[in-house]
Amino acid sequence: MIIKQLSIFVENKMGKLVDVVEALGKAGIDIRAQSIADTSDFGILRVIVTKPDEVASLLREQGYIVRLTDVLAVSMPDTPGSLAKVLRALSDENVDVEYTYAFVSHNKDKAYVVIRVENNEHALEVLANHGLLFADEEDIYK
């Protein structure tokens, strides 16, 4: 499944990250998954949230630089080697993975990985051909 991820540019200064997540909390937005990459001056907070389009607008109104990006959400068993199986399928078909981050489900036997690739449609086809499953909206947003 292709889902929307928000990439939020955050100054790399004390308290700036908490400002963003507090703004989301006050707006009643649930962060389903998150990852942050930083440099000396700023960080990129990547989040999967409920209502991504609304959240992007809300944050932009508050002065944040926000980008919506389509990423893949793959469902897998929460067992050793599951992520390797997903990544091997992509690698064997020359699909270049830009980055990933994973999270577990409230359902104890499932995990999910968010994957950013250049061509989502091709990656979806590769993964489906390998019998791998995708998260659905219920998995991600509920």
Render pLDDT for 33-81 as a digit per residue (tens, 0 to 9). Answer: 999 988 888 899 999 998 899 999 999 999 999 999 999 999 999 999 9
Instruction: Look at residue 22 in the predicted model and tell me its pLDDT.
Output: 95
DSSP annotation of 104: E
In this predicted structure, the answer to whether residue 7 has a pLDDT above a threshold of 90 is yes
Same fold, 2-70 and 71-141: yes
Sign of the dihedral defined by the CA atoms of residues 21, 27, 28, 32, in that order? negative
- The phi-psi region of residue 82 (left if phi > 0; otherwise alpha if psi is between -120 and 50; otherwise beta) is alpha
CATH topology of domain 71-141: VC0802-like (3.30.2130)
42-54 residue pLDDT tens? 899 999 998 899 9
| Domain boundaries of the chain, sorted by first residue | 2-70, 71-141
CATH of domain 2-70: 3.30.2130.10
